Amino acid sequence: MRATRGEHLFYAITYTILSVLALSCLLPLVHIFAVSLSDNDAVMSGKVSFWPVQFTLESYKLLVEGTPIVRSFNNSVIITVIGTILNMIFTVMAGYPLSRKYFYGRRFFSMAIVFTMLFSAGLIPNFLLVKSLGLLDSYWSLWLPGIVSAWNLLVLRSFFENIPEELVEAARIDGCSEWGLLGRIFLPLSLPVLAALSLFYGVGHWNSFFSVLMYINDSAKHNLSVLVQNMIQSQQLLNEINHQMNMGTADDSINKITPQSIRAAGIMTMVIPMVIVYPFLQKFFVKGMLIGSIKG
């Protein structure tokens, strides 16, 4: 069926709006990337737009040698990987029984979980709880309070409920236990939604900032988000970096780096890992959200 003139107009307007929105998200990132690879004079004179001017990698060299970015990057990886694994284990372990109609108390626990989406204890009670558990200055203070997201749990439960009951009955006839059902039936069929939820959890851990500042006092355990935020807000920190790098060196290239370039390099170091990971999970992300959020 051929599209009508009104449909063509609708598609044109829709694509135009989506293109503008996409560019509004992409162009600032491209500009920051160009600044991080540009020379000091070009950055200071405002010549850098969306392409590096007088290409140089000195800002990244200064970032690695003058800041604890390698340590912070490793901390972010630890927080993200272990945190995401814990999140997925407990989300699956909670979502599976809540999806079974014969689970006693299923409705009560589901309502209790929904209640946490509407009401929370607040910042101070959460901090006092973490402190009383002795979790301060430990990554468990980041993992344990949010070990299960109520929204992600409901999405996974909805997906499990949509798995045909005939498969479950056939597996039970073959003598499959509850653990066997979960490991051989539910999890293999749930890869799209599991990948999507892993992406949600992973991005949340990678970008965690306020919780790290609140619970982690040891700067050696701070993640990449905290370091980059300190670089953006603290001019004194950037001056100390430049002073440290200029001590005992006659390399004029160090003087060609501006605070803007260092900040841009730090931001790109934090953004690039997620940009690399997302394309591999995008097809699972779209499919998993559609299947996991619609029942029927």
pLDDT tens string 208-262: 888 888 898 888 888 888 888 877 776 555 555 555 555 544 444 445 556 777 7
Are 194 and 288 in contact, with CB atoms under 8 Å apart? yes
Q: Give the number of other CB atoms < 10 A from CB of residue 250.
A: 6
Q: Domain for residue 18, yes or no?
A: no
How far is residue 106's CA from residue 37's CA, in Å, rounded to a whole number?
55
Q: Domain for residue 119, yes or no?
A: yes
What's the mean per-residue pLDDT of the chain?
80
In the prediction, which pLDDT does 49 show? 80
Lowest pLDDT segment from 8-12, 236-240, 277-281: 236-240
The CATH number of residue 121's host domain is 1.10.3720.10
In the prediction, which pLDDT does 245 show? 53
Are 75 and 221 in contact, with CB atoms under 8 Å apart? yes
Q: Is the pLDDT reported for residue 89 higher than 90? A: yes
Q: Domain for residue 8, yes or no?
A: no
Interval 114-144: pLDDT, tens? 888 888 777 888 888 888 888 888 889 889 8
Helices (H), the chain: 5-36, 40-44, 58-66, 69-99, 106-118, 123-132, 140-143, 150-162, 165-173, 178-181, 187-189, 191-206, 210-215, 224-233, 235-246, 259-293
Q: Give the number of other CB atoms < 10 A from CB of residue 101.
A: 7
Segments forming the whole domain that contains residue 177: 57-293
How far is residue 83's CA from residue 204's CA, in Å, rounded to a whole number?
10
In total, how many domains does the chain have? 1
Q: Domain for residue 51, yes or no?
A: no
Q: Domain for residue 260, yes or no?
A: yes
Residue 250: both structure tokens together: 């006659």
* pLDDT tier, 294 (very low <50, low <70, confident <90, very high otherwise): very low
Q: Domain for residue 37, yes or no?
A: no
Q: Domain for residue 117, yes or no?
A: yes
Q: Is the pLDDT reported for residue 23 higher than 70? A: yes
Are 158 and 293 in contact, with CB atoms under 8 Å apart? yes
Lowest pLDDT segment from 16-25, 44-53, 87-96: 44-53
Span 32-54, average pLDDT: 78
Higher pLDDT, 282 or 128: 128
Q: Is the pLDDT reported for residue 86 higher than 90? A: yes
In the prediction, which pLDDT does 292 show? 45
Span 68-77, average pLDDT: 88
Higher pLDDT, 287 or 173: 173
Are 69 and 269 in contact, with CB atoms under 8 Å apart? yes
In the prediction, which pLDDT does 242 show? 57
Are 153 and 91 in contact, with CB atoms under 8 Å apart? yes
Query: How many Cα atoms sit within 13 Å of 167 on the Cβ side?
Result: 14
Q: Domain for residue 254, yes or no?
A: yes
Q: Is the pLDDT reported for residue 43 higher than 50? A: yes
How far is residue 30's CA from residue 27's CA, in Å, rounded to a whole number?
5
Lowest pLDDT segment from 62-66, 87-91, 225-229, 288-292: 288-292
Q: Give the number of other CB atoms < 10 A from CB of residue 125.
A: 10
Q: Is the pLDDT reported for residue 289 higher than 60? A: no
What is the amino acid identity at position 53? V
Interval 170-216: pLDDT, tens? 888 878 888 888 888 888 888 888 888 888 898 889 988 888 888 98
Higher pLDDT, 28 or 39: 28
